[in-house]
Structure formats: C-alpha cells, structure tokens
Amino acid sequence: MSNLLVEISDCIATLTLNRPEVMNALNYDVFKELESAVADLASREDVGCVILCGAGRAFSSGHDLNDIDAGAEADHAEFEAKVLEQLAALPMPTIARVHKYCFTGALELILACDLIFIDEDTRLADTHSKWGLSPVWGMTQRLPRRVGAARAKDMMFSARLVGAQEALAIGLVEKVCAVDSLEEETLAYAREVANNSRYTHRVCKDILNQTDGMALAQGLSYEYANSPGACDDAKERVANFIKNQK
C-alpha cells in the first residue's frame, strides 16, 4: 500500500499521507514517496495548486518514534530536510489541509507549504524538547518566520499544544474552518488559485523566495530587475476579459 496517495484533478494535485493506522506518522518511506511526487509536480505545467493532507482521523502525529528509536533521525535527517526544501520550492502555490493533530515533524512539513488551513479541532505543537530531540527539518528557521522569534521559542520550550484559534491569532495558520467544511473550503480556495495565472504564481513565489531576509531596498531592487511585469498569459487574459464585457 502506498504511503502517499497522489491525485490530480481539475488542475489541482492532492497529496494524501496514507498511514492512518499510525496517524500518518512520518518515516523514511513516506519521504521517499513525497520526494518522487514533488519532483513530478515541479515539472508539470497542468497543475495550478497543490493540497497536502492526511488520511484518517488526524493529519499526522509527527515523526515516527520507531524511526527515531532505530536511529533514522540521524541517518535520514539531511534527506528529509532536502525533500521539505523541494516542497517549499515548488513553483505553484501549496496548501496544507490539516485536521486534528499536527505535531513536531508534521509541523515542520506543513511549514514548508505556502498556506496552512486547519479545522477548529486541530492542535499543533513542537514537541522536540519533550523527547530530547533537536530540530533537523527546518523548525528553527521556518517557525519564527511565521510567528516571530518569541512565539517560536514559547512553542519550542514548552512543547505545549496550540489550539486552532490561537494558531490563527499568532499567524501560524491562515484559515480555521468548521470540522465538516475544511475539505470543501480548502478545495474551493484551491480552485480559485488554480484559475489564476500560473505564470504569475511562479514569478511571485520565486521573487518571495529569493528576497526572503533582504532589506526592503534590496528586495525592491530585486523585484524591479526580475519581474517580467506582464506574464506569458497576460494578453490572452486581458483579451478574454474585454470580450466578456461586451
């Protein structure tokens, strides 16, 4: 059975963690399949948005403790971190659709996505300190970029559970949905994204990634020098708009 289900429909790719019997705990095999799926998506022109979600009763409990006990935390860390970098570098927008639980390694996974949507029952946490581990998949860099250094320290030091409304308030997630509408609302948003210009999305993501951490003046200079302005489908989109107004 595949550890990661891949479905592409209506220009939207859905990647589903598929180890529901262990609450989608992340192991090396999951990352191998994720690496393959991300590599395929990176070269596709027919996908306008990617949704990452989990099968069963929770998104993911985090890194599989059996993997850690066997020494895989050290053996595979660089590989898994690179897969998350590849996910973050995808040219199309990515949305993590998270329900119930998202702990530690799973939190590092969704932090590599552009947007995070959760349901109102979701709990998130960084429990590295609970287990005597240190982050190796990007937590120390991606979490403070989302919530600020002090809030990131709070989550890291306390290993406490963060509820849905707090996660929204501190900027950890972008949207909180009712439990029974998370999937529908995420898909509706993804469709809106996929209907917009993929060329524009690629340019915006690239500039955002390249200028992350730059001073404002440097970032502006980079945008002015590297943005094409009108993208490859601009003429067609404007023409269609004008045609429909007549």
Q: Which residues of 7-40 are buried (b: 16+ CB within 10 A; e: fewer)?
A: eeeebbbbbbbbbeeebbbbbeebbbbbbebbee
Whole-number pLDDT of residue 73: 59
Whole-number pLDDT of residue 89: 96
Domains by residue range for the chain, with CATH: 4-195 (3.90.226.10), 198-245 (no CATH)
Whole-number pLDDT of residue 65: 78
Whole-number pLDDT of residue 27: 93
Where is 94: in which H helix or E strand?
strand 94-98
Q: Which residues of 192-207 are buried (b: 16+ CB within 10 A; e: fewer)?
A: ebbeebbbbbbbbbee
pLDDT surpasses 80 at 127: yes
Whole-number pLDDT of residue 56: 97
pLDDT surpasses 60 at 74: no
pTM of the entire structure? 0.93
pLDDT in tens, 167-216: 999 999 999 999 999 999 999 999 999 999 998 999 999 999 999 999 99
Q: Which residues of 82-109 are buried (b: 16+ CB within 10 A; e: fewer)?
A: ebbebbbebbbbbbbbbbbbbbbbbbbb
pLDDT in tens, 79-124: 999 999 999 999 999 999 999 999 999 999 999 999 999 999 999 9
Whole-number pLDDT of residue 246: 66
Whole-number pLDDT of residue 232: 77
pLDDT in tens, 132-168: 999 999 999 999 999 999 999 999 999 999 999 999 9
- Categorize the per-residue pLDDT at 1 as very low, low, confident or very high, splitting at 50, 70 and 90: confident
